[in-house]
Structure 1
Amino acid sequence: MTKQQVNKVVLAYSGGLDTSAIVPWLKENYNCEVVAFVADVGQGADELAGVEEKAIASGASSCYVVDLKAQLVNDVIVPTLKTGALYEGQYLLGTAVARPVIAAAQVEIARKVGADALAHGCTGKGNDQVRFEAAFAALAPDLQVIAPWREWHLTSRPQLLAYLEERGIPCSASITKIYSRDANLWHISTEGGELEDPWNAPSSQVWCWTTEPEQAPDTAEHLSLSFHQGEWVGLNGEAIDPVSAIDTLNQIAGAHGVGRLDMVENRLVGMKSRGCYETPAGAVLYAALQGLESLVLDRSSQDYRIRLGHEFAQLLYDGRWFTPLREVMQVAAEKLAEPLTGEVVLKLYKGQITLTQKQSPNSLYSSAFATFDEDDVYHQHHAEGFIRLYSLASRIRALQQASATDPQSGGTS
């Protein structure tokens, strides 16, 4: 499909400098109608204020703002939490979790308006271009995908601002921008500025949602979280709606400096990048589920869940959400989460999360069995036979080695 054959394109639009410039660029270079699509994934009212007017002023024929917060939580965040996914053992995938629902909604808008192309503002160096385009390939392989950052020659903020000024398009962005941020209801990430040198410690300007731990309250706060089959259903004894409750928990945990991560990670495209991530609610929920797992999962199940979490994190980070493999892994996670019903109490203090209490009707822990006293299911003399069988291979190997070095046994010395 050539540029002249594109009639209507749906652009993932944020209202920022990049996408404001992409609207007129698409019209000029593809001679097409541009429909703006804005995903409300909980990035905040300030980010969404006036976004429709900005899109129209940039040249879009229309603008659709779609509330995706419930889908983000129910369709991606909750299932991902059940897997225990942490990318490279640290990152709660705050950016990656939003991409599947955004891509799916963008395709839905394209079908609704009869578009024949999709466009995004991802750079050619990042992970998001892969995530979006892999989703488009799975959901709408017939639609052309346009990635302006891989085509145009606008390579700096001054060039983008000059491009808009030449066309009389208003933009509130400034020449200098210290940080690049991405926010949704689950997290906020910060890159750029002093963070580009890993020897530089993050300044106080980096952190948006979390208090400096040294400045956090001197009194610890205890939270009680209730779960049913791995899903968060209660906070401090009251039923909760997960979407609004995540915002509440972000505020509570963030005030105690909980949920910070300064990380150098391996991008899918091959380079390393440094980001500072704030996921207060996610950090608390992850810790609580880990506590429940320790009570209810046997060792083999827990080992498998850990491997599953690692593999699922890689899959989500790499943009392979719309694949049969994700569906299979999610079924396994759902099965492992079935006994994760119970209550966990956590202490938040100066950036730290400590599990202080946990209980579950499905607990495999029993003080009657763990005690040093006699019980009905285990007698200490049973251990002798178990240890002999457990170490049998080592015993046989040692006997063979002794036989091989003993001249009287016919072996060589």
Structure 2
Amino acid sequence: MPTKHSKLALVGPAVAVAAALAVVFWPEQGQEAAAGSAAAPVRTAAAVQAAGQPGGPPPIPAGLERAERKRLLDEQYQHADQTYCSYLASTKYPVSSRPIAEHPDQVYPNQPVVETQPMRGEGGRGGDPDVLLQTSQSRVFMVAGEAVAFSLRAVNAQGGALPLVVTRAVSGGLTFGATRPAAQVSLPFSDDGSGADPVGGDSHFAAVLAPAQTSLAQFNGTIRTEVRYTVNGRAGVALFDVIYSPEVPATWTGQPREVIDDGSLAYVLRADVRQAGRYIVTGRVDDAKGKPFALATFNDVLRAGPNEIRLTVFGKLLRDKAPAMPLTLRDVDGYLLKEDVDPDRALMPRLEGRVLAGKAHPLRSFSDAEYAGEERTRHLAEFSKDASRARQALAAFDPAQPVPASQCAASTVK
């Protein structure tokens, strides 16, 4: 089931430009150090060029017909103006504080992963396309001491349950190359209404894996559970993968608090850091009606010992979206980022559910100013120059023809 385990995060030129511009912008605030993580973009020369890297439009080839030269000048101006406007709009909030609608896969990180797929045999071959296997797993990433619940059920095309028998289920750590194979442990699946199985005798089998209680307690990486079963006499195989981190690089301490800092709303969490390094911490923020509102991210180097981690909801984001107050911080997860190793992270214990319910702050308490980081300011200045040069070239070519207005609602292009 590769789709379930790939969670480790366009058509049209405007969208393509906006996507590429995010690559230019994201390295700010130390984000480049997270390039090895699944959530971090990588800045490449091709992406920067696609984003309209400052430097002015290319020269118009000599010898072209007047109509063709006019068309090319029009295109250059539209492209330069669109690049400037897209960057202006997409970077008005910092990368550490974004509307959660931009990250739909991050809204509810602790929900079970549920899938329905045709029955598959060994190596993906065989099976029975008329039999659908419904599977679920309670989590993908696991911290030391946590457990994961698996379940599987066979149904026909109409959703009716089919008799399923689990013949063998084992869990083992995936290793590569010359690495010594990890131990395997047997994992009993049951349909007796106990443990992770809610109802007995309904052909819905379930099991719980707690690596810390097995010979996999010190394994660091992907643990794969292979379940062999039969339906109507035909054999099938189901795979479940989890990423397990036996080490705990930092733990949460004390009570979180909410403060207004520099025109933004900040949630301050305390952590006792055992391993110094770069930490990526993410929290979800809901409005008073329970509607997901913002994704707040911390990305910085922490020293060993007591530390404060701030998850910030940017002031202008609050002013623009006007969420129903008070806000609630929930589902906080974090990890120590590691370089040049696999796995590339050591997980902190997750904070599931509500972490802190805030106060009903009036919106006027927050700043309406756009984000003004050094990289954004520098790029806006250069993109504005590019658009200005393209506009001037178009105006000089045909002074009698007015140049189209900028696409920006409030443009600085002259």
Q: Above 0.5 in TM-score?
A: no
Greater share of helix residues, 1 or 2? 1
TM-score, normalization by structure 2: 0.25
